[in-house]
Amino acid sequence: MNDTSLDALARPATLCAFCPKMCRTACPVAEAEGREAVTPWAKMSLVHLARTGQVSLEEPSVRRSLEACTGCGACVEKCAHGNPVAESLFTARGVAGSARIAEHRAAFERTGDVKGRDHAEALVGLPRNKNGRVAYFPGCTRACEDGPEAVRRDLRALTRALDEPVVVCDVSRASRLQCCGYPLYVDGQIDLVEQNLLRLGELFAGHELVVTPDPGCAYVLSTVQSLLIGRRGKARGFPSVLPLVEVLAQHADRFADAARDRVLRYHDPCYLGRRGRTFDAPRELLRAACGRPPLEFHKNRGDADCCGGGGLYPMSNPEGAADIARRRVSHDGNAHIPAELVVTACPSARRNFARAGVRVADLIDVILGELP
Ligand code: SF4
Ligand code: SF4
């Protein structure tokens, strides 16, 4: 066990261990699993107990508790200290180690993807080079799970909004440069995340702006990147990285009436909304496309409930993740106001809702008039 990493968690773990659980009801995992053992307080208390030698992070039940976090950040909103619970749990996962971490590290070091996939398979026939003001970075969910058609839809929307050519980042398994590193970040593998970001800085260096459809990628490539490599990233010409909807919303009028009169309810993805503070852009796009503002969940914007799709939680507890998604749409105070579909702006959120049987659409399909 790496005690140095655990020592770095002394303050956040102690704050939680001696707290009267002010964030008790904020955690989507604790609510869905209905277990005190996975409240933010309990999970962080385990880290505190591990630091003081009273439990081992390697015990299977402790590992399971560390896994029970989507990274949504809802607990932080309720915490007077702004305690970084998710980040602390992610670090603790790394200290505890697991078979998944070992497999992901090995695959990433070999291929640049934790599952050994080749993101370039979704990019065949697209202009991939290092020159061009604006470049598109697909991320693994878009490239490998949504596939080439979804990538092409993103590019059609981006080209229409910007009215200029957009190139695609030259990602591939052969170069081992293709993932932002989010799956490693949530497992506390910061050494690999940092190395990867430095290499991505070189890949992005010819561009002024990199645009990604995945808010998790945008978060790692901007917020985490500036925390981890900061000045070194700037020195290597790391460009601005924005979520796709932010860029599209600057020209929302170009999507006017694409889904006229459709009645949709917008879900704020955690890494776009609460963490990325992007709330208005998707709503402006939906207002333009539908000719009306989207319906809102009662809990929205910074207060939105999580869909359950982040933090690799669907990998460790698929049924728990699906339950969180179903609770998001059925337990909300506005659930009685009918909408045709839930719409969201995160590939992972959309997939998690779909896995849970929720009728859901991708915002890009709405603004291109390609709804089912
Ligand atoms: S995150 Fe904040 S409110 Fe929640 S248990 Fe920890 S210290 Fe208390
Ligand atoms: S970040 Fe979200 S899932 Fe993780 S402990 Fe906090 S509220 Fe729970």
Q: What is the pLDDT of residues 301-323, one digit of tens each?
A: 999 999 999 999 999 999 999 99
User: CA 73, CA 84: separation in Å to the nearest integer?
Assistant: 8
pLDDT digits (tens, 9 = 90+) for 201-253: 999 988 999 999 999 999 999 999 999 998 877 767 789 999 999 999 999 99
Ligand showing the shortest atom-to-Cα distance for residue 89: 2
- For residue 69, how far is its CA from the centre of ligand 2 (angstroms)? 5
Predicted pLDDT of residue 2? 54
Residue 75 CB contacts under 8 Å (≥ 6 apart), including other chains? 23, 26, 27, 40, 83, 85, 86
Least confident residue range of 2-16, 99-113, 167-181: 2-16
The whole-angstrom separation of Cα 9 and Cα 89 is 9
Q: Contact at 8 Å (CB) between 208 and 239?
A: yes
- What are the phi and psi torsion angles at 37 (to 5°)? -65, -15
Asked if pLDDT for residue 357 goes beyond 60, the answer is yes
Nearest-CA residue for ligand 2 atom 6 is: 75
Q: What percent of the chain has pLDDT over 70?
A: 99
Q: Which helix (H) or strand (E) holds 88?
A: helix 85-96
Our answer on whether the CB atom of 309 is closer than 6 Å to any ligand 2 atom is: no
- Mean pLDDT over residues 190-206, rounded? 94
Nearest 5°: CA angle at 129, between 226 and 155? Answer: 80
Residues 6+ apart with CB under 8 A from 66: 43, 46, 47, 57, 89, 92, 93, 96
Neighbours of 61 (CB within 10 A): 9
Compute, in angstroms, the gap from residue 17 CA to the centroid of ligand 1. Answer: 8
Strand 341-344 versus strand 264-267 pairing type: parallel
Q: Residue 136 class from Cβ within 10 Å (0-12 exposed, 13-18 middle, 19+ buried)?
A: buried
pLDDT at 130: 79
Mutate to test the pocket of ligand 1, among 21, 29, 72 (most ligand atoms within 8 A of CB): 21
Determine the residue of 27, 39, 90, 313 to mutate for testing ligand 2's pocket, defined as the one with the most ligand atoms within 8 A of the Cβ atom. Answer: 27
Residue 189 pLDDT grade (very low, low, confident, very high; cuts 50, 70, 90): very high
The atom number, within ligand 1, closest to the CA of 21 reads 5
- Residues near ligand 1 (Cβ within 6 A): 15-16, 19, 21-23, 40-41, 44, 75, 78-79, 81, 83, 85
Q: What values do phi and psi take at 171, rounded to 5?
A: -85, 150
Q: How confident is the model at residue 155 (pLDDT cuts 50, 70, 90)?
A: very high
pLDDT of residue 1: 47
Q: What would the DSSP string read from start to end of 171-193?
A: -BTTTTB---SHHHHTTT-HHHH
Dist. CA 170–CA 120, nearest whole Å: 8
The pLDDT tens digits of the residues spanning 22-60 come to: 898 999 999 999 999 999 999 999 999 999 999 999 999
Ligand nearest to the CA of 74: 2
Residue 142: pLDDT over 80: yes
Among residues of the chain, what percentage have pLDDT more than 90? Answer: 92
Nearest CA to ligand 1 atom 7: 16
